[in-house]
Amino acid sequence: MNNDIEKVLYSREEIQAVTEKLGKQITEEYIDKNPIVICVLKGAVLFMADLAREIKTYCEMDFMDVSSYGDGTKSTGEVKIIKDLDTPVEGRNVLIVEDIIDTGRTLERLADLLHHRKAKSVKICTLLDKPERRVKGVVPDYVGFEVPNEFVVGYGLDYAGRYRNLPYVGILKPEVYENK
Ligand code: PRP
Ligand code: MN
Ligand code: MG
Protein backbone atom coordinates (compact mmCIF):
# COMPACT_ATOMS: atom_id res chain seq x y z
CA MET A 1 0.00 0.00 0.00
CA ASN A 2 2.76 2.47 0.93
CA ASN A 3 4.50 1.55 -2.35
CA ASP A 4 1.66 3.19 -4.28
CA ILE A 5 2.63 6.57 -2.86
CA GLU A 6 4.97 8.76 -4.90
CA LYS A 7 5.63 11.31 -2.20
CA VAL A 8 4.46 12.08 1.31
CA LEU A 9 3.03 15.61 1.33
CA TYR A 10 2.07 15.91 4.99
CA SER A 11 3.38 13.54 7.63
CA ARG A 12 1.40 12.34 10.61
CA GLU A 13 3.34 14.80 12.78
CA GLU A 14 2.64 17.77 10.50
CA ILE A 15 -1.06 16.88 10.41
CA GLN A 16 -1.11 16.58 14.18
CA ALA A 17 0.53 19.99 14.63
CA VAL A 18 -1.84 21.75 12.26
CA THR A 19 -4.84 20.01 13.85
CA GLU A 20 -3.78 21.28 17.29
CA LYS A 21 -3.46 24.80 15.91
CA LEU A 22 -6.90 24.69 14.27
CA GLY A 23 -8.41 23.17 17.41
CA LYS A 24 -7.13 26.09 19.48
CA GLN A 25 -8.62 28.65 17.09
CA ILE A 26 -11.94 26.80 16.98
CA THR A 27 -12.03 26.48 20.78
CA GLU A 28 -11.59 30.24 21.17
CA GLU A 29 -14.21 31.05 18.58
CA TYR A 30 -16.83 28.61 19.83
CA ILE A 31 -16.60 29.01 23.62
CA ASP A 32 -20.21 29.28 24.91
CA LYS A 33 -21.60 28.67 21.40
CA ASN A 34 -22.22 24.92 21.73
CA PRO A 35 -21.62 24.24 18.02
CA ILE A 36 -22.73 21.20 16.07
CA VAL A 37 -19.58 19.89 14.48
CA ILE A 38 -20.46 18.05 11.28
CA CYS A 39 -18.26 15.37 9.80
CA VAL A 40 -18.72 14.92 6.06
CA LEU A 41 -18.44 11.17 5.51
CA LYS A 42 -16.44 9.37 4.63
CA GLY A 43 -13.34 11.43 3.87
CA ALA A 44 -13.45 13.65 6.95
CA VAL A 45 -13.71 10.86 9.47
CA LEU A 46 -10.04 10.70 10.52
CA PHE A 47 -9.62 14.47 10.64
CA MET A 48 -12.87 14.85 12.59
CA ALA A 49 -11.78 12.32 15.18
CA ASP A 50 -8.46 14.07 15.75
CA LEU A 51 -9.80 17.63 15.52
CA ALA A 52 -12.66 16.94 17.95
CA ARG A 53 -10.11 16.05 20.62
CA GLU A 54 -8.49 19.48 20.17
CA ILE A 55 -11.79 21.33 20.63
CA LYS A 56 -11.70 22.05 24.34
CA THR A 57 -15.21 23.36 24.89
CA TYR A 58 -18.77 22.00 24.67
CA CYS A 59 -19.84 20.85 21.24
CA GLU A 60 -22.03 18.22 19.65
CA MET A 61 -21.11 15.98 16.74
CA ASP A 62 -23.18 14.84 13.82
CA PHE A 63 -22.46 13.06 10.56
CA MET A 64 -23.60 13.53 7.04
CA ASP A 65 -22.77 11.50 3.97
CA VAL A 66 -22.60 13.60 0.84
CA SER A 67 -20.90 12.16 -2.18
CA SER A 68 -19.93 13.83 -5.42
CA TYR A 69 -17.34 11.38 -6.70
CA GLY A 70 -17.82 7.94 -8.09
CA ASP A 71 -14.98 5.48 -7.76
CA GLY A 72 -12.63 7.41 -10.02
CA THR A 73 -10.57 10.55 -9.78
CA LYS A 74 -13.00 12.87 -11.60
CA SER A 75 -15.94 14.64 -10.01
CA THR A 76 -19.27 13.74 -11.57
CA GLY A 77 -20.55 17.22 -10.71
CA GLU A 78 -23.50 15.72 -8.90
CA VAL A 79 -23.85 15.95 -5.12
CA LYS A 80 -26.00 13.32 -3.48
CA ILE A 81 -27.13 13.24 0.16
CA ILE A 82 -26.75 9.67 1.28
CA LYS A 83 -27.18 10.20 5.01
CA ASP A 84 -28.69 13.33 6.48
CA LEU A 85 -28.04 14.88 9.91
CA ASP A 86 -29.94 13.65 12.95
CA THR A 87 -29.82 17.06 14.65
CA PRO A 88 -32.03 20.05 13.74
CA VAL A 89 -29.70 22.94 12.94
CA GLU A 90 -32.19 25.84 13.20
CA GLY A 91 -30.69 28.56 15.38
CA ARG A 92 -27.47 26.58 15.91
CA ASN A 93 -23.85 27.40 15.16
CA VAL A 94 -22.59 24.81 12.74
CA LEU A 95 -19.01 23.91 11.88
CA ILE A 96 -18.54 21.66 8.87
CA VAL A 97 -15.41 19.49 8.93
CA GLU A 98 -13.98 18.32 5.61
CA ASP A 99 -10.85 16.52 4.51
CA ILE A 100 -10.51 18.46 1.25
CA ILE A 101 -12.21 21.18 -0.77
CA ASP A 102 -11.67 20.64 -4.46
CA THR A 103 -14.26 22.08 -6.88
CA GLY A 104 -16.29 23.32 -3.90
CA ARG A 105 -19.49 21.63 -5.10
CA THR A 106 -19.93 19.45 -2.01
CA LEU A 107 -19.46 22.32 0.41
CA GLU A 108 -21.58 24.75 -1.55
CA ARG A 109 -24.45 22.31 -1.57
CA LEU A 110 -24.05 21.59 2.14
CA ALA A 111 -23.66 25.21 3.23
CA ASP A 112 -26.74 26.20 1.19
CA LEU A 113 -28.75 23.43 2.79
CA LEU A 114 -27.74 24.44 6.32
CA HIS A 115 -28.55 28.10 5.65
CA HIS A 116 -31.90 27.03 4.21
CA ARG A 117 -32.55 25.15 7.46
CA LYS A 118 -31.87 28.41 9.29
CA ALA A 119 -28.60 27.61 11.02
CA LYS A 120 -27.40 30.63 13.00
CA SER A 121 -23.91 30.39 11.53
CA VAL A 122 -22.17 28.03 9.12
CA LYS A 123 -18.40 27.79 9.03
CA ILE A 124 -16.04 25.38 7.34
CA CYS A 125 -12.88 23.74 8.59
CA THR A 126 -10.93 21.73 6.03
CA LEU A 127 -7.63 19.93 6.41
CA LEU A 128 -6.75 20.47 2.76
CA ASP A 129 -7.73 23.17 0.32
CA LYS A 130 -7.10 22.87 -3.42
CA PRO A 131 -8.07 26.37 -4.62
CA GLU A 132 -6.76 25.79 -8.16
CA ARG A 133 -9.66 23.45 -8.89
CA ARG A 134 -12.45 25.64 -7.50
CA VAL A 135 -15.56 26.14 -9.66
CA LYS A 136 -17.78 27.38 -6.81
CA GLY A 137 -17.07 30.38 -4.58
CA VAL A 138 -16.53 28.39 -1.42
CA VAL A 139 -14.05 29.94 1.01
CA PRO A 140 -13.18 27.86 4.09
CA ASP A 141 -12.82 29.58 7.48
CA TYR A 142 -10.13 27.24 8.79
CA VAL A 143 -7.57 25.55 6.54
CA GLY A 144 -4.82 23.11 7.45
CA PHE A 145 -2.82 23.14 4.22
CA GLU A 146 -3.19 24.45 0.69
CA VAL A 147 -2.43 21.57 -1.66
CA PRO A 148 -1.16 21.57 -5.23
CA ASN A 149 -3.36 20.16 -7.99
CA GLU A 150 -2.22 16.55 -7.59
CA PHE A 151 -4.19 13.43 -6.79
CA VAL A 152 -3.74 13.13 -3.04
CA VAL A 153 -4.78 10.24 -0.83
CA GLY A 154 -4.49 9.17 2.79
CA TYR A 155 -5.75 10.33 6.18
CA GLY A 156 -9.34 9.88 5.00
CA LEU A 157 -8.85 10.65 1.31
CA ASP A 158 -9.44 7.72 -0.99
CA TYR A 159 -8.88 6.47 -4.47
CA ALA A 160 -11.55 3.88 -5.33
CA GLY A 161 -12.24 3.45 -1.63
CA ARG A 162 -8.62 2.68 -0.72
CA TYR A 163 -5.85 4.53 1.14
CA ARG A 164 -8.12 6.28 3.66
CA ASN A 165 -6.28 4.44 6.44
CA LEU A 166 -2.87 5.89 5.63
CA PRO A 167 -1.76 8.04 8.60
CA TYR A 168 -0.30 10.67 6.25
CA VAL A 169 -1.36 12.53 3.08
CA GLY A 170 0.55 11.63 -0.05
CA ILE A 171 0.53 11.86 -3.82
CA LEU A 172 -0.60 8.69 -5.56
CA LYS A 173 1.68 7.29 -8.27
CA PRO A 174 0.00 7.94 -11.64
CA GLU A 175 0.40 4.31 -12.71
CA VAL A 176 -2.03 3.35 -9.95
CA TYR A 177 -4.94 5.22 -11.53
CA GLU A 178 -3.87 5.44 -15.18
CA ASN A 179 -5.61 3.13 -17.65
CA LYS A 180 -8.37 2.45 -15.15
C1 PRP B 1 -14.43 14.11 -1.59
C2 PRP B 1 -13.84 14.89 -0.43
C3 PRP B 1 -14.79 16.05 -0.31
C4 PRP B 1 -15.20 16.32 -1.74
C5 PRP B 1 -14.44 17.48 -2.28
O6 PRP B 1 -15.50 13.36 -1.13
O7 PRP B 1 -13.87 14.10 0.75
O8 PRP B 1 -15.92 15.73 0.46
O9 PRP B 1 -14.87 15.13 -2.48
O10 PRP B 1 -14.72 17.67 -3.65
P11 PRP B 1 -15.49 18.92 -4.23
O12 PRP B 1 -14.99 20.14 -3.52
O13 PRP B 1 -15.12 18.88 -5.67
O14 PRP B 1 -16.96 18.72 -4.01
P15 PRP B 1 -16.17 12.21 -2.00
O16 PRP B 1 -17.35 12.76 -2.70
O17 PRP B 1 -15.13 11.52 -2.81
O18 PRP B 1 -16.73 11.20 -0.92
P19 PRP B 1 -15.88 10.49 0.26
O20 PRP B 1 -15.60 11.55 1.27
O21 PRP B 1 -16.81 9.45 0.80
O22 PRP B 1 -14.63 9.94 -0.36
MN1 MN C 1 -15.87 13.65 1.16
MG1 MG D 1 -13.85 10.11 -2.27
Cα dihedral: 147, 37, 135, 113 (round 10):
170
Pairing outcome for strands 60-69 and 75-83: antiparallel
What are the CA-CA distances from residue 155 to residues 4, 54, 127, 144 (Å)?
Answer: 15, 17, 10, 13
**pLDDT tens digits, 53-110:** 999 999 999 999 987 755 555 555 678 899 999 999 999 999 999 999 999 999 999 9
In CATH, what is the architecture of 11-71+78-149?
3-Layer(aba) Sandwich (3.40)
Looking at the CA of residue 101, tell me the nearest atom of ligand 1.
Answer: 12
Residue 102 is among the residues annotated as catalytic for this protein: yes
Q: How far apart are CA 151 and CA 128, in angstroms?
A: 12
Q: Determine the residue of 64, 65, 68, 155 to mutate for testing ligand 1's pocket, defined as the one with the most ligand atoms within 8 A of the Cβ atom.
A: 68
| 8 A C-beta contact, residue 140 and residue 124 | yes
Q: Where are the domains of the chain?
A: 11-71+78-149
**pLDDT tens digits, 78-90:** 788 999 999 999 9
What are the CA-CA distances from residue 159 to residues 36, 136, 146, 163 (Å)?
Answer: 29, 23, 20, 7
